[in-house]
Amino acid sequence: MVTSAAQGRAAHGEPDYIARAEALATSFAARAAEHDRTGSFPFENFRELSEAGLLSLTVPAAFGGAGAGVRYAARVIGILAKADSSTALVLSMHTINHLVMARSPTWPARLSRKLARESVEGVALVNALRVEPELGSPARGGLPATVARRTETGWRLSGHKIYSTGSPILKWYLVWARTDEAEPRVGQFLVRAGLPGIRIVETWDHHGLRASGSHDVVFDDVVIPLDAEVDVRKPADWRAPDVAQAAVHTIFVAAIYDGVARAARDWLISFLKQRVPASLGAPLASLPRAQEIVGAIEARLAANARLIDTFARDFDDGVDLSSGESNVIKLTVTNNAVVIVEDALSLTGNHGLSRANPLERHYRDVLCGRVHTPQDDSTRIGLGRAALGL
């Protein structure tokens, strides 16, 4: 279902972004296998997303965007993830950051307006660069090795980021760094891509999401303006999670991997209907075992749809949500998605693992859900500690 606001827009003749996403999904799906095989970045997908107005999906209407809520945006991301999960991942990170900009009181208004308008006008994507070789994900604590040194004329930034999703196309980086002050502060600095001293090192050669361009980005004494400081605080002030940002992140990540599972389900059903073994003399779909496993897949997809939709609707309606609850959504949906694809493989055997068929790619992609923050062990430990009163 789409949001009531989106339904209202469609009723008044305003753009139906769901229909636009569905139209683009056909061409994205046709190109996905080649981008996966070569590890090439799907630049053409983002040009088409921009032309369809989908790069500004969550940009406020006041700045020319669609002003979509989380529920509507999650629907769009799920549709695109079913076609090409790498593209959906890059888009989701960009979309999350625009939602945060629009809602966060800590974002400088001048910068958020600038990025919003650029996103409306062309292919101008933004993502947060947080993970480092030694630190890993900052979600588990610790100070980044990336350092911002303040001078009279600007900040000078040096550091090394890994898993920088979308790096070949990003126009803006939100770099997680610490200051060189006597009492270091930690936070985000807005950095324009392509400045002197920035290098993209093409390290991304991954098992799944191969077309996401999640390469390393190295900053060597990069000069940025003093007002590029977005949200920099004392380390202790970051201990409490940003519940709103965490909730949006988990909803979109869940939507991506649910989309992968739905693509696997569609291919499986087609395979079961068309495959007629000589020993059986009938389609595999006629076997009770196949029917039972497909039924189990349908049950998991139905649960995923309800979890994503209800949680996203609650967020849009201003319901008080906890980070623990949002983490449970991500854990449950992504694990359901993995089991769905594994069940599909159990019915297809060698056919499902052949590179000639998309199920093999879906399996590699869906496994990435387990390593996406928040990871399962962190979620379970947090829930366990809360239950035990620790």
Instruction: Report the C-alpha dihedral over residues 365, 86, 73, 332, rounded to 10 degrees.
Output: 20
pLDDT band at 6 (very low <50, low <70, confident <90, very high): very low
- Residue 253 banded pLDDT, cuts 50, 70, 90: very high
| Omega of the bond leading into 374 within 30 degrees of 0 (cis) | yes
Q: What percent of the chain shows pLDDT beyond 90? A: 84
Local confidence band at 7 (pLDDT 50, 70, 90 cut-offs): very low
Per-residue pLDDT at 1 exceeds 60: no
pLDDT digits (tens, 9 = 90+) for 259-304: 999 999 999 999 999 999 989 999 999 999 999 999 999 999 999 9
Instruction: Check whether 348 has a pLDDT greater than 60.
Output: yes
Question: Which whole-number Å values give the CA distances from 208 to 23, 128, 182, 246, 330, in the listed order?
Answer: 25, 20, 42, 23, 18
Residue 8 confidence (pLDDT) above 90: no
Interatomic CA distance for residues 138 and 141, integer angstroms = 5
Please give the pLDDT value at position 143: 87
Instruction: Reply yes or no on whether the pLDDT at 9 is more than 70.
Output: no
Q: State the pairing for strand pair 215-224/155-164.
A: antiparallel
> How far is residue 43's CA from residue 313's CA, in Å, rounded to a whole number?
32
What is the C-alpha separation between 211 and 361, in angstroms, rounded? Answer: 12
The torsion angles phi and psi of 106, rounded to 5 degrees, stand at -85, -15
pLDDT at 103: 86
Give the confidence band of 142 by pLDDT, cuts at 50, 70, 90: confident
Q: CATH assignment of 243-388, given 1.20.140.10, 3.30.70.3190, 1.10.645.10, 2.40.110.10?
A: 1.20.140.10
Structure tokens at 337: 């998605």
pLDDT band at 139 (very low <50, low <70, confident <90, very high): low
The mean predicted confidence, pLDDT, of the chain is 92
Q: Is the pLDDT of residue 14 over 60?
A: no
Note the pLDDT of residue 225.
Answer: 96
Letter string b/e over residues 156-188, b meaning 16 or more CB atoms within 10 A of that residue's CB: bbbbbbbbbbbbbbbbbbbbbbbbeeeebbbbb
Confidence of residue 256 (pLDDT cuts 50, 70, 90): very high
Note the pLDDT tens digit of each residue in 366-379. 999 999 988 999 99
3-state secondary structure the chain: CCCHHHHHHHHCCCCCHHHHHHHHHHHHHHHHHHHHHHCCCCHHHHHHHHHCCCCCCCCCHHHCCCCCCHHHHHHHHHHHHHHCHHHHHHHHHHHHHHHHHHHCCCCCHHHHHHHHHHHHHCCCEEEEECCECCCECHHHCCCCCCEEEECCCCEEEEEEEEEECCCCCEEEEEEEEEECCCCCCEEEEEEECCCCCEEEECCCCCCCCCCCCCEEEEEEEEEECHHHEEEEECHHHHCCCCHHHHHHHHHHHHHHHHHHHHHHHHHHHHHHHHCCCCCCCCCHHHCHHHHHHHHHHHHHHHHHHHHHHHHHHHHHCCCCCCHHHHHHHHHHHHHHHHHHHHHHHHHHCHHHHCCCCHHHHHHHHHHHHHCCCCCHHHHHHHHHHHHHCC
C-beta separation of 359 from 348 below 8 A: yes
Q: Quick one: pLDDT band at residue 136, thresholds 50, 70, 90?
A: low
CA 158, distance to chain mean position in Å, is: 26
Pick 129-238's CATH classification: 3.40.50.720, 2.40.110.10, 1.20.58.100, 1.20.1630.10: 2.40.110.10
Confidence (pLDDT) at 13: 38
- The mean per-residue pLDDT over the stretch 11-36 comes to 86
CA dist 27 and 8 (Å) reads: 28
Q: Please, which residues have CB within 8 angstroms of residue 337's CB and are 6 or more apart in sequence?
A: 257, 258, 260, 261, 300, 304, 366, 369
Give which of 37, 21, 34, 26 is closest to 263, Cα–Cα: 26
Other CB atoms within 10 A of residue 121 CB: 12
Per-residue model confidence (pLDDT) at position 111:
94
Q: What values do phi and psi take at 68, rounded to 5?
A: -70, 150
**How do the domains of the chain map onto residue ranges?**
4-123, 129-238, 243-388
Task: Note the pLDDT tens digit of each residue in 35-93.
Answer: 999 999 999 999 999 999 999 999 999 999 999 999 999 999 999 999 999 999 999 99
pLDDT digits (tens, 9 = 90+) for 315-333: 999 998 888 899 999 999 9
Q: Which CATH homologous superfamily contains domain 4-123?
A: Acyl-CoA dehydrogenase/oxidase, N-terminal domain (1.10.540.10)
